[in-house]
Amino acid sequence: MNIGFILLFYMMALPFFYIENTINESSIVLNEETSKHIVQVLRMQNGEQLQLTDGKGNLFTWEVTNNATQQQKFIAHCEDENNKVPLTSKLLHSSTSKLILIGPEGDFTNTEIQLALQNGFTPVALGDTRLRTETAGMVAACLFKMH
């Protein structure tokens, strides 16, 4: 008895997006709404492909890459209150990735603070009063969401 194996391959259609301008560049940055749809709804990862059209008969296949090299990094600590600025004065537009370090009860050690500063973290204040750790995290999240 011969048993035949049939391998079925299907090609999933690539996601298709419209962009307003003609593509003449080696890379493009999609607007925030389209980028969020690609990442959050379609769950596309780096290296996956999608198609772009300019509505003029041009169709381009592009590879998804994460060029979000702009990341804002903050450290909220209790030491040296005079050398910190309010977090809200340092926040950039909403599409910028943000990271904040919130210390444990009793604050970060001086070594931890120096290490964060050496790695590009900006010292910030979350307000005029000292907050508990769990409150500080919620305040930071709300400030990020508002800006």
CATH code: domain of residue 27:
2.40.240.20
Residue 11 to residue 84: CA distance in whole angstroms = 54
Residue 20 to residue 1: CA distance in whole angstroms = 59
pLDDT at residue 113, rounded to an integer: 92
User: 83 with 133, same domain?
Assistant: yes
Domain containing residue 113 = 71-146
User: 85 with 26, same domain?
Assistant: no
User: 106 with 43, same domain?
Assistant: no
User: 118 with 88, same domain?
Assistant: yes
Q: What is the pLDDT of residues 125-147, one digit of tens each?
A: 898 888 898 999 999 988 888 87
Residue with the larger pLDDT of the pair 69 and 122 = 122
Residue 91 to residue 141: CA distance in whole angstroms = 12
User: 100 with 138, same domain?
Assistant: yes
- The domain tally of the chain equals 2
Q: What is the DSSP string of 75-101?
A: EE-SS-GGG-EEGGGT---TTSEEEEE
Mean pLDDT of the chain: 79
User: 125 with 97, same domain?
Assistant: yes
Residue with the larger pLDDT of the pair 27 and 43 = 43
What are the beta bridge partners of residue 73?
A: 99
pLDDT category of residue 53 using cuts at 50, 70 and 90: confident
Residue 99 to residue 116: CA distance in whole angstroms = 12
Over range 61-83, report the average pLDDT. Answer: 77
pLDDT at residue 23, rounded to an integer: 67
pLDDT at residue 69, rounded to an integer: 53
Closest CA to 77 of 136, 139, 138, 143: 136
Residue 7 lies in a domain: no
pLDDT at residue 1, rounded to an integer: 45
Q: Which two three-digit tokens encode residue 25?
A: 């560049």
User: 32 with 75, same domain?
Assistant: no
Q: What is the pLDDT of residues 96-117, one digit of tens each?
A: 678 899 988 888 999 999 999 9
pLDDT at residue 144, rounded to an integer: 85
Q: Which two three-digit tokens encode residue 39?
A: 């990442």
